[in-house]
Chain A
């Protein structure tokens, strides 16, 4: 007993030494100049708060998308690679709704608010149905097939949806600002919240009147508030409702749940519906926050969200949220204090490190027991 513990500690010690060695070897290249970083924090402590705000806002979007990954993985142990692209479709759906309702040209606050709420609802519904359709078409028949089959099917769906986005971005009759340059290029998603606030005569920066040298814009507040509301709502739904209970039962043991009379197909469809709806909401949030619509944006978002889900413990809803915020903050601080070109390396190095010490993620996996 004593020897195994010692061995274990020795291994941890070796890993920790290796990590420190790598940090000191690569750190200076990455821009990890501790005195310089300290000096820059000391000279401008408010900027630290600014990076925090940016990190949390970006993290909120990642977290919402991560929930879709983690829920699906929790229930059928499938990495739904098409999920990031469903989010991209959410961006295009909300932009199209805003265009067709004439909200994009409008300066009337009431009309803008109405347009945004309508866009949110349509994006949620459309993406929910899309995600459930993907499950029906591409995953359901492979549910009992070897694990790799639905995985490949998911990658295929991802490419199909990316190409739909590519075609969508070329439809200037839907959104005139798409222009004639084809679907491949990035499209502008107008800053509707900024326009709304300007039309009301308010400053976009909520802290402008306080004289504090910080930017807390309405966009940051909208993203964070909407994300928290959605997350709390989802958590309560899964913990308190009948369907939530059925979902947890299905995740734990599908066959036993079936024996107890739970309609497995419906539970899984519901999971995809909720995941897709969250992706749709994240789409509108990201469009309003970053003001870009691009057919390829789902790829990177999907990668980051999946990382967030794994970081927090896949299958674990609270873990997905935690992972999302963590990645957003890491990226923001790396951009701010280190070197922007190393941000991705840093994010993934952190993931590797955390998984080395906690292989099941920060809060632990919550998946079926058969694995």
Chain B
């Protein structure tokens, strides 16, 4: 009898542990619930009979190191919706928002299976009119064709930067047309692509006085893509590429690799190391072993793309180890944003606390674009539940006066803003060092 009781008890304990464990990320992601209930009370307009509910979903990795960035994106999207009182078309439609997670605990980062499932779920739910995401370019490659065949359902990304998603390029692997089986483009992004970011980065490394560079990537669509652009540009502008290697993103350490690099340049270390990777792929460990073998980042420079421009990267490596690291992000720093952007930062901080993650404002802009498309369809007398109409309205956006500035989408769904800002780690935080084109 006693044994039975003990077994039952242990099962209960296990069950509660699992519930608690699963509960943490979920509750973090679903903070929009209270906001939804207060929205009707805060409504100032006269009640208009609602004609229906339009649903907007986001699909971002919310398990893994990227959560630091994606949580601010989700917060920003909610903030934008709150400002619109969760209504569109003069109150005729309610807007509902759900933040979906495309990462899994098993991988600790975005999971191809989960992203595909999300896209299929969105395709099947006819109340969804916009799919905001993804965060990782590799994930977008999977969901674009699924959503393209479903309406097409418009997809707006706050963060994908792989060029091949929107434009064909001879230097880049990306059979762009195969992503769009219906022949209609349904994917747009508010952030400039890596054909620009990689080029600017190579020029930046040269401007630091480096003549030799070693390139590492995480073997993902995004990481390898930007590393390839960097390599091509580096060779064009006269930098010597000592080596270009993919790393194992789950290795315990990279001391042997860093030892090899430390003598790769004719017995000496290269002037700089460029890493094409996201923080989830062990970027902090890579930096730690680089510093252990080759010394601080004043000597051999460590430069990376937007994937490592996050506080999680600095926390993981330690502030003293990360000091001096450079990372680029599309767009301008918060201080140089137009009035709408500055207002966004003020509003965000009033609600969610201090904001340093640069992608938050892109999340805000993405939601603004989705709302603008819905409003435009209504204004033209159209039906905002029609996915194709919403999609055309997104691509028709020109001279949009948003938080990032005034910009337009081109026919490929790329933004006209091409500024890149470089940040350097100082005293445990990224500080802007200048904007480049």
Contact of A61 with B by CB under 8 A: yes
Contact B256 A339 (CB under 8 A): no
Stretch binding the partner chain, chosen from A19-27, A234-242, A284-292: A284-292
Contact B67 A184 (CB under 8 A): yes
Residues in B93-107 with C-beta less than 8 Å from chain A: 105
Write the B254-297 contact mask toward A (1 if CB under 8 angstroms, else 0): 11110110010001000000000001001011001100010000
**Which of A47, A186, A294 is most buried by chain B, counting CB atoms within 10 A of its CB?**
A186
Set A170, A178, A336, A344: member contacting B259, Cβ < 8 A: A336
Write the A31-50 contact mask toward B (1 if CB under 8 angstroms, else 0): 00000000000011001001
Contact of A96 with B by CB under 8 A: no
Contact of B64 with A by CB under 8 A: yes
User: What's the Cα separation between A156 and B63 when bound, in Å?
Assistant: 19
Contact A296 B108 (CB under 8 A): yes
User: What's the Cα separation between A286 and B251 when bound, in Å?
Assistant: 13
Q: B219 contacts which chain A residues (CB < 8 A)?
A: 341
Q: Given A163-B18, A290-B252, A341-B248, are A51 and B259 neighbors across the interface (CB < 8 Å)?
A: yes
**Which of A43, A184, A295 is most buried by chain B, counting CB atoms within 10 A of its CB?**
A184
Q: A332 contacts which chain B residues (CB < 8 A)?
A: 255-256
Contact A167 B65 (CB under 8 A): no
Q: B67 contacts which chain A residues (CB < 8 A)?
A: 181-182, 184-185
Q: Given A162-B105, A186-B316, A190-B318, are A336 and B17 neighbors across the interface (CB < 8 Å)?
A: no
User: What's the Cα separation between A159 and B65 when bound, in Å?
Assistant: 18
Contact B260 A292 (CB under 8 A): no
Q: Which residue of B lies closest to A204 (CB)?
A: B292
Write the B298-325 contact mask toward A (1 if CB under 8 angstroms, else 0): 0000000000001110011110010000
Set B71, B254, B256, B289: member contacting A182, Cβ < 8 A: B71
Q: Which residue of B lies closest to A329 (CB)?
A: B256
Chain B's interface size range is 35 or more
Contact B256 A331 (CB under 8 A): yes
Contact A167 B21 (CB under 8 A): yes
Contact of B379 with A by CB under 8 A: no
Contact of B91 with A by CB under 8 A: no
Set B17, B257, B279: member contacting A160, Cβ < 8 A: B17
Contact A286 B252 (CB under 8 A): yes
Write the A329-367 contact mask toward B (1 if CB under 8 angstroms, else 0): 001110111011101100000000000000000000000
Q: A181 contacts which chain B residues (CB < 8 A)?
A: 65, 67-68, 310-312, 315
Contact A300 B246 (CB under 8 A): no
Q: B108 contacts which chain A residues (CB < 8 A)?
A: 184, 295-296
Contact B22 A163 (CB under 8 A): yes
User: What's the Cα separation between A352 and B24 when bound, in Å?
Assistant: 40
Contact A290 B253 (CB under 8 A): yes
User: What's the Cα separation between A138 and B13 when bound, in Å?
Assistant: 12
Contact B256 A55 (CB under 8 A): yes
Q: A54 contacts which chain B residues (CB < 8 A)?
A: 255-256, 259
Set A50, A156, A178, A290: member contacting B285, Cβ < 8 A: A290
How many residues does chain A have at the interface if contact means C-beta atoms less than 8 Å apart?
Answer: 58
Q: How far is the CB of A7 from chain B (nearest CB, A)?
A: 40
Q: B310 contacts which chain A residues (CB < 8 A)?
A: 181
Contact B252 A343 (CB under 8 A): no
Q: Which residue of B lies closest to A219 (CB)?
A: B292
Q: Given A184-B63, A291-B288, A292-B284, are A344 and B252 neighbors across the interface (CB < 8 Å)?
A: no
User: What's the Cα separation between A141 and B108 when bound, in Å?
Assistant: 31
Contact of A166 with B by CB under 8 A: yes
In the complex, the number of residue pairs spanning A and B with C-beta atoms less than 8 Å apart equals 151
Contact of B7 with A by CB under 8 A: yes
Contact of A279 with B by CB under 8 A: no
User: What's the Cα separation between A240 and B24 when bound, in Å?
Assistant: 48
Contact of B20 with A by CB under 8 A: yes
Q: B255 contacts which chain A residues (CB < 8 A)?
A: 54, 58, 332
User: What's the Cα separation between A202 and B80 when bound, in Å?
Assistant: 56
Write the A130-167 contact mask toward B (1 if CB under 8 angstroms, else 0): 00000001100100000000000000100110111011
Q: B312 contacts which chain A residues (CB < 8 A)?
A: 181, 185-186
User: What's the Cα separation between A215 and B246 when bound, in Å?
Assistant: 25
User: What's the Cα separation between A335 and B256 when bound, in Å?
Assistant: 6
Q: How far is the CB of A199 from chain B (nearest CB, A)?
A: 15
Contact B252 A301 (CB under 8 A): yes
User: What's the Cα separation between A291 and B247 when bound, in Å?
Assistant: 19
Q: How far is the CB of B219 from chain A (nearest CB, A)?
A: 6
Q: Which residue of A lies closest to B318 (CB)?
A: A188
Q: Which residue of A lies closest to B3 (CB)?
A: A141
User: What's the Cα separation between A178 and B14 when bound, in Å?
Assistant: 26
Q: How far is the CB of A83 from chain B (nearest CB, A)?
A: 16
Q: B10 contacts which chain A residues (CB < 8 A)?
A: 137
Contact of B399 with A by CB under 8 A: no
Given contacts A163-B21, A341-B219, list 20 more A-B pairs with CB under 8 A.
A44-B263, A160-B18, A164-B21, A166-B105, A167-B24, A170-B24, A181-B311, A181-B312, A182-B71, A183-B24, A184-B67, A185-B67, A185-B312, A185-B315, A186-B282, A186-B312, A188-B318, A215-B293, A340-B257, A341-B247
- The residues of B with any CB-CB pair to A shorter than 8 Å are 3, 7, 10, 13-14, 17-18, 20-22, 24-25, 28, 63-68, 71, 105, 108, 219, 245-248, 250-257, 259-260, 263, 267, 279, 282, 284-285, 288-289, 293, 310-312, 315-318, 321
